[in-house]
Chain A
């Protein structure tokens, strides 16, 4: 599934990183704790989160996350967008809640990917 597919499935808005929509995502992870993301995320992962601060972008940078989806209509501020552009990480925004957003992506074939 590409970032563009993720966008379509969730009816999400692209906030930045339009030029990276053809990137492939292999897994997804839904988390509000960045600690957990750092401990469990596998490669080429979509990160879904309701947390909205610069450390979400930093965490995604360290983990080479494919794209970040902010759920529940959370909107990143300009500092986060600037950092995401610098790190070349597309940011998406959806009104769906975490459970629904994860469910929709799962139904479309994206999986969590075990980390052991």
Chain B
């Protein structure tokens, strides 16, 4: 593998059925590139959790994926409501998801802890009323 690869996705906020398309594509791409199954799995799970969060909590946004020879960086940016207390949001089981989201199979408060577990670096930059940028880094090899 040589050089850098950059991928960009616009995530619609009003179409729950399409949430995860971007993560699915990235997963396929990494597999094709011969990235280790371990790293592919870490990216797939953490990016998908972030993509779902973007749709259910923030009305969509954009995702930028950079693949280098040493790591994969995923930047999820939204203009949603922001997160009031990040430390609290990081706790397993904490969720503000409404019942209608729970009926769709999400809203257990497991996403952010799971993203932490499956990434080598997780940075959450958020401002109430302005939006949230989540950066996930997964090392390759």
A: which residues have CB within 8 A of B?
32-36, 38-39, 51, 53-56, 58-59, 61-64, 79, 87
Min CB–CB distance B3 → chain A (angstroms): 27
Interface set, chain B 25-50, CB cutoff 8 A to A: 27, 41, 44-45, 48-49
CB-nearest residue of chain A to B21: A58
CB-nearest residue of chain A to B103: A51
Q: Which of B17, B23, B49, B114 contacts A53 (CB 8 A)?
A: B17
Per-position 1/0 for B100-115, Cβ under 8 A of A? 0010111111110110
Q: Is the interface of B mostly helix, strand, loop or mixed?
A: helix
Bound-complex Cα distance A55 to B49 (A): 11
List 21 contacting pairs A-B, 8 Å CB cutoff, sorted by A.
A32-B105, A36-B108, A38-B48, A39-B108, A39-B113, A53-B16, A53-B105, A54-B17, A54-B18, A54-B20, A55-B16, A55-B20, A55-B52, A55-B104, A55-B106, A58-B19, A58-B23, A59-B20, A62-B41, A62-B45, A62-B48
- Chain B CB within 10 Å — which of A32, A55, A63, A87 has the most? A55
A35 x B41 contact (CB < 8 A): no
Min CB–CB distance B74 → chain A (angstroms): 14
Residues of A with C-beta under 8 A to B49: 38
CB-nearest residue of chain B to A61: B24
Bound-complex Cα distance A54 to B55 (A): 14
Q: Is the interface of A mostly helix, strand, loop or mixed?
A: helix
Residues of A with C-beta under 8 A to B16: 53, 55
Known: A55-B16, A55-B20, A58-B24. A33 touches B106 (CB 8 A): yes
Residues of A with C-beta under 8 A to B114: 35, 38-39
- Chain A CB within 10 Å — which of B48, B105, B113, B114 has the most? B105
Q: Which of B24, B41, B102, B110 contacts A39 (CB 8 A)?
A: B110
Q: What 3 A-B pairs come out closest when comparing CB atoms? A: A35-B108, A58-B20, A34-B105
CB-nearest residue of chain B to A77: B17
Residues of B with C-beta under 8 A to A61: 20, 24, 27, 44
Bound-complex Cα distance A38 to B112 (A): 11
Known: A38-B110, A61-B27, A63-B45. A56 touches B17 (CB 8 A): no
Residues of B with C-beta under 8 A to A79: 17
Given A55-B105, A62-B41, 5 more A-B residue pairs with CB atoms under 8 Å apart are A34-B105, A35-B105, A35-B109, A51-B104, A63-B44
